[in-house]
Amino acid sequence: MTNLVIVGSVALDTVKTPFGKVKDALGGAATYSSYAASFFAKPAIVGVVGSDFPKQHLQLLQQRGIDTGGVKVDKNGRTFRWEGYYEYDMNEAKTVKTELGVFANFKPQLPPSYKDAEYAFLANIDPVLQLEVLQQVRKPKLVLLDTMNYWINNRKRQLLEVVKKVDVLLLNDSEARQLFETPNLVKAAGAALKLGPRFVIIKKGEHGALLFSDGNHFSAPSYPLENIRDPTGCGDSFAGALIGYLASRNSGSEKDIRKAIIYGSVVASFNAEDFSLERMKRLTAAEIEKRYREFERMREF
């Protein structure tokens, strides 16, 4: 039985940054987030790939203890592909192309062993699919939701329906402004809390993250990284580490969410040091703990 279910894109990414480029590299929201979560818990993923998806990518996830039994191989189509680039402002990914491929006709079916999971992460994918997964999880204790501008543009109504059903909403600053139609992040967070979530986390790229709850506010710094090569997947690694940590503590308390945000920032900062999942593949639990302690020291005043 698994205690943490993640649904999201499993992708082949073509990415260019000022520091290099990759073509059809392993990516996707479910991929990055489950890998990051695997440092804390044993996640299981739900998604679909085409027959063009290299087998060694799934093996890589399995070697980390990630359950890929919910990843369907659809022989009739191509794997989801995303192409994007970053300029010197690495906070903002510019999308060149999004090809939904096999995700366009995907009907998620959760394996029976996933249905009693207490923690669920609805990572970036069509909100209709996020909802279909959520409906199959019997009694989740904590559901985290992420999205991006592509779905705010194409599925806003459905996305707001999902927001009403989750405990924690995660957005980056521009998405929060776009979804709640206000330039002010405090107002955007307030509007989100009114819909139902207990917590709203707004990521501000290399400037950290803000946590809002009813009457409370927490601001987390980000790690001052000198060596950023590719920020793709940082949002997903942040979210994966965050929910992985909460699942490992079996907690959704505000105190643990604050710690989980720091773990998320730590793993995301490592992820940015190299392309695709390359840095996370070399990452150790000791490195995560060491950087977590540095964050603690950074916040003392």
Residue numbers of the site for ligand AMP (CB under 6 A)? 9, 11, 13, 27-29, 32, 82, 93, 98, 124-125, 148, 150, 232-236
Minimal distance, residue 19 CB to ligand AMP, in Å: 16
Given the complex with ligand AMP, which of 70 and 235 has the nearer CB atom? 235
Minimal distance, residue 203 CB to ligand AMP, in Å: 9
Q: What is the gyration radius of the CA atoms in the chain, in angstroms?
A: 17
CA–CA separation, 124 vs 15, rounded Å? Answer: 18
Displacement of CA 300 from its chain's centroid (Å): 28
Given the complex with ligand AMP, which of 118 and 159 has the nearer CB atom? 159
CA–CA separation, 17 vs 184, rounded Å? Answer: 30
**N- to C-terminal Cα distance for the chain?**
44
Given the complex with ligand AMP, which of 40 and 106 has the nearer CB atom? 106
Minimal distance, residue 80 CB to ligand AMP, in Å: 7
- Of the candidates 26, 25, 33, 31, the residue with the CA atom closest to the CA atom of residue 47: 31
Quick one: tokens of 148?
A: 């991006």
Angle between helices 185-195 and 156-163 (to 10 degrees): 70
Given the complex with ligand AMP, which of 116 and 132 has the nearer CB atom? 132
Is the alpha carbon torsion for 9, 11, 15, 20 positive or negative?
A: positive
CA–CA separation, 56 vs 61, rounded Å? Answer: 9
CA–CA separation, 58 vs 146, rounded Å? Answer: 23
Minimal distance, residue 12 CB to ligand AMP, in Å: 8
Given the complex with ligand AMP, which of 56 and 153 has the nearer CB atom? 153
Minimal distance, residue 215 CB to ligand AMP, in Å: 29
- Sheet-wide strand order for 80-85: 20-27, 11-17, 80-85, 94-99
Given the complex with ligand AMP, which of 47 and 197 has the nearer CB atom? 47
Given the complex with ligand AMP, which of 118 and 268 has the nearer CB atom? 268
Minimal distance, residue 9 CB to ligand AMP, in Å: 3
Minimal distance, residue 112 CB to ligand AMP, in Å: 26
Taking the CB of residue 105, how many other CB atoms lie within 10 A of it? 11
Minimal distance, residue 138 CB to ligand AMP, in Å: 26
**Residue 160 burial (10 A CB sphere; 0-12, 13-18, 19+):** middle
- Non-local (6+) Cβ contacts of 157 within 8 A are none
Given the complex with ligand AMP, which of 119 and 238 has the nearer CB atom? 238
Displacement of CA 157 from its chain's centroid (Å): 21
Residue whose CB is nearest to ligand AMP in the complex, by number: 27
